[in-house]
Amino acid sequence: MPDLSSQPLSAHAVVLAAGEGTRMRSHAPKVLHEVAHLPLIAHVLNAACGAGLASTSLVLGAGGAEVEVDLAARGYVFGVVEQSERLGTGHAVEMVSKAGQIPESPVMVLLGDAPLITPSSIRGALQKLEDGVDLVIVAFNAADPTGYGRLVMEDGAPVAIMEEKEATEEQKAITLCNSGLMAFGLGVLEPLLAKLSNDNSKGEYYLTDTISHARNAGLRVDYIIASEQELAGVNTRADLAEVEAAFQDRRRRELMLSGVTMQAPETVMLSHDTVLEPDVVLEPNIVFGPGVRVETGAVVRAFSHLEGTYIHAHAVVGPFARLRPGADIGVGAKVGNFCEVKKAVVGAGAKVNHLSYIGDASVGARANIGAGTITCNYDGASKHHTEIGVGAFIGSNSSIVAPVTVEDGAYVGSGSVITKDVPEGDLAIARGRQVNLAGRAPKTSKT
């Protein structure tokens, strides 16, 4: 993640992530649970970055150190405030203010457990500020508003947000609800925080109370509407699964509209960073782990699992292929049925077609790897490299014991165990000689 601190300061993000997440039934902090192989909170930070927010403060609670370490290792840059005593959202944001982490800029308050938020919605709120609004609420129309704060409106503008416990029966019928995301104009937030009170049923300082204070101060308050799905938060494992499904649906659609063919989209599982170029074809039941790029015209056949892999143009992978980190499949190359490739380059036009394992290796262009071939890369203590040259032919059921080189155009006879280099153009045969013993075949039936 780039450090945007040197860029013009458009707005500051405050990400609330101090919740204990007890309903997740997990030893890990809630915001580190993953959607598409990326922590919930990292999705939020990516959206903030995509919207142009130039700096970020995280409000963390239990497990905060673990969150810090994880995000820093991924390259994110942020400030941290610890909320050891949970006294409400207003209190959380006030702690950021008291820590001196709010610069002279607009402020966008985000939730660390709502990973589907998009840069466009964040920009929509910030645009309202640029148009002269002082406080912007990100709202949604709820299919079932139970449990949400309701937006109370007068003359088309919000005048308050009523939490469920404080709402009247009439207010509970309102379906326009608060998402928890709010934007504050330059110099607006801190005076409003100073007016917050905890005189409510929970004894907490609600950030939403800033709305009525802003109205009383003559400030302009407005709202934008985002979809309910985009603003969904995660509190349970069931929520996590629903958000995962929503992310996958959204990303699949984006890729198909960009020119990717998915024969059965609902069976393809993507990572947050999967890159698929136009005219890629995906058959059913494919799983993408992190770090996969597939170039134009390539085909990934059914029931394949890919991670940390680069597939070049017009290559064919699968069915039932397992490509592990470091696999690099060249232009027009083929990795076929029940093959595994790990930390290996398969050159342009090369073929690894059936039931083979290629690990810690380089396979030259146009080489042919016969069925059942394995590179024996591990000696029990260390991994070793195998080099297979351009146009080499490895016969079926061969074992190439690394470190070893099979040079350009060399040929290895089927069933061989290769422990020494094979020079260019040579034929290597390393197997026991066949012996036929007359009359010694076992009897197959009683006479």
Instruction: Provide the annotated active-site residues.
Output: 354
59 near 90, Cβ under 8 Å?
A: no
Helices (H) and strands (E) in the chain, counts: 8, 35
DSSP assignment of 11-29 equals -EEEEEE----GGG--SS-
Q: Are 196 and 94 in contact (CB under 8 A)?
A: yes
Contact predicate 14/79, CB 8 Å = no
Enter the tokens of residue 428. 């290597």
Q: Per the structure block, which two tokens stand in for 339? A: 């093959």
Q: Which two tokens stand for residue 410?
A: 């060399």
CA atoms of 107 and 126, how far apart (whole Å): 9
* β-strand partners of 255: none
In 96-241, which ranges are E strands? Answer: 107-111, 135-141, 150-154, 157-162, 176-184, 221-225
Residue the block writes with tokens 């071939």: 373
CB atoms within 10 A of CB 79: 16
Which residues on neighbouring strands pair with residue 62, listed in sequence order?
A: none
What is the number of residues in the chain? 447
Q: Which residue has the tokens 């326009």?
A: 176
Asked whether 383 and 403 are in contact (CB, 8 A), the reply is no
For tokens 């009439």, name the residue.
170
Query: What sign has the CA pseudo-torsion 300, 301, 307, 308?
Result: negative
Residue 54 contacts residue 4 (beta carbons within 8 Å): yes
CA dist., res. 92 & res. 344, Å (int): 49
DSSP string, 65-97: HHHHHHHHHTT---EEEE--S---HHHHHHHHH
Q: How far is CA 421 from the centre of its chain?
A: 43
Rounded-to-integer distance, Cα 294 and Cα 286, Å: 13
Residue 336, Cβ density class (10 Å: 0-12 exposed, 13-18 middle, ≥19 buried) = buried
